[in-house]
């Protein structure tokens, strides 16, 4: 891991993310790309009015000064930090910045979302998760222990999960795999689950060494099953694959990974399928 992107909005949650990234950067000798997006409408930026331009310059300078102060925290000492300022607050742009700079991970702070605000607006974290091709680490608290001794990887163990599983394995050797059985169409018997998991591990690892690291659980929803199993296993981090659904498909079908990222108290890391 060489480059970590941290979107900054000056909230306490983005500070949690920045401090988390600083710890990871020190461990991996990585650089932090601190990204701040100014809330400026495109029409205002292109307006040629002198008076408006003077106001724009003033607010730009003010935001940049605030950004510089935010990046002067003691926990960043010894860490290479590159500030990046974008004029528009478009969170799909985070993925573009990540691609442009060949970043390895995005670390974001989030307070989660629920109810109507989640359905109709969604959180900025969700938007980044949907668009990102690289892992997104979502944190909701000030980092205390980032050892990640126990990491749960939730999966349905289909073929399309092989790639995100292998990406997770590159970062974490100590994965505990979680299979959630839910009522209805997707229900599987114990023997069916075991056969499916064994086939998956043969494809992904070429062996069955991690067969004893698989935890089978039943619950009313996949999201609840993942959260309950992670708590039971004493996880420090939850890893989930994501399709990165967008638009109407996302609205009607939802995304388990985004729900988990929104509602888990533990840090959550997503891997694009």
- What's residue 41's pLDDT? 54
> Which domains, and CATH codes, for the chain?
3-139 (3.40.50.620), 151-272 (3.40.50.620)
Helix (H, G, I), strand (E, B) or coil at 215: strand
Instruction: Retrieve residue 258's tokens.
Output: 């985004």
Q: Return the higher-pLDDT residue of 103 and 243.
A: 103
- Which residues touch 31 (CB under 8 Å, ≥6 apart)? 2, 3, 4, 25, 79, 80, 81, 82
pLDDT in tens, 19-34: 999 999 999 999 999 9
Once rounded to an integer, what is the mean pLDDT over residues 100-124? 70
C-alpha–C-alpha distance, residues 127 and 64, integer Å:
24
Neighbour-count burial of 184, counting CB atoms closer than 10 A to its CB (0-12 exposed, 13-18 middle, 19+ buried): exposed
Full-model pTM: 0.85
- Cα separation of 81 and 71, whole Å? 8
Provide the pLDDT for residue 262.
Answer: 76
pLDDT, residue 254, reads 54
- With beta carbons less than 8 A apart as the criterion, state whether 30 and 104 touch: yes
Pairing of strands 136-139, 268-272: antiparallel
Mean local confidence (pLDDT), 215-239? 94
Q: From the CB of residue 15, how many other CB atoms can be counted at a distance below 10 Å?
A: 18
Query: Could you give the CA distance from residue 240 to residue 222 in angstroms, rounded to a whole number?
Result: 11
pLDDT at 111: 75
Q: Are 208 and 240 in contact (CB under 8 A)?
A: no
Mean pLDDT, range 141-167, rounded to an integer: 91
Give pLDDT, residue 259. 78
């Amino acid at each position: 891991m060489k480059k970590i992107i941290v979107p900054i909005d000056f909230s306490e949650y983005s500070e949690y993310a920045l401090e988390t990234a600083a710890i990871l950067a020190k461990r991996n000798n990585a650089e932090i790309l601190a990204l701040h997006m100014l809330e400026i409408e495109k029409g205002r930026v292109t307006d040629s009015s002198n008076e408006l331009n003077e106001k724009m310059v003033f607010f730009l300078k003010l935001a940049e000064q605030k950004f510089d102060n935010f990046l002067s925290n003691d926990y960043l000492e010894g860490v290479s930090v590159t500030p990046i300022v974008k004029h528009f607050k478009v969170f799909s742009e985070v993925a573009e910045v990540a691609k442009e700079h060949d970043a390895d991970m995005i670390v974001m702070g989030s307070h989660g979302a629920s109810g109507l605000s989640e359905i109709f607006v969604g959180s900025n974290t969700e938007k980044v998760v949907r668009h990102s091709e690289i892992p997104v680490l979502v944190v909701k608290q000030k980092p205390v222990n980032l050892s990640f001794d126990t990491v749960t990887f939730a999966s349905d163990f289909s073929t399309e999960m092989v790639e995100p599983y292998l990406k997770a394995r590159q970062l974490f050797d100590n994965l505990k795999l979680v299979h959630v059985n839910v009522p209805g169409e997707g229900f599987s018997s114990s023997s069916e689950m075991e056969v499916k998991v064994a086939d998956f591990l043969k494809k992904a690892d070429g062996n069955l060494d991690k067969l004893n690291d698989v935890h089978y659980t039943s619950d009313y929803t996949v999201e609840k099953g993942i959260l309950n199993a992670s708590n039971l296993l004493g996880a420090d981090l939850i890893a989930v694959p994501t399709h990165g659904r967008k638009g109407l498909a996302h609205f009607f079908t939802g995304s388990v990974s985004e729900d988990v990222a929104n509602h888990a108290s533990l840090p959550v890391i997503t891997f694009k399928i």
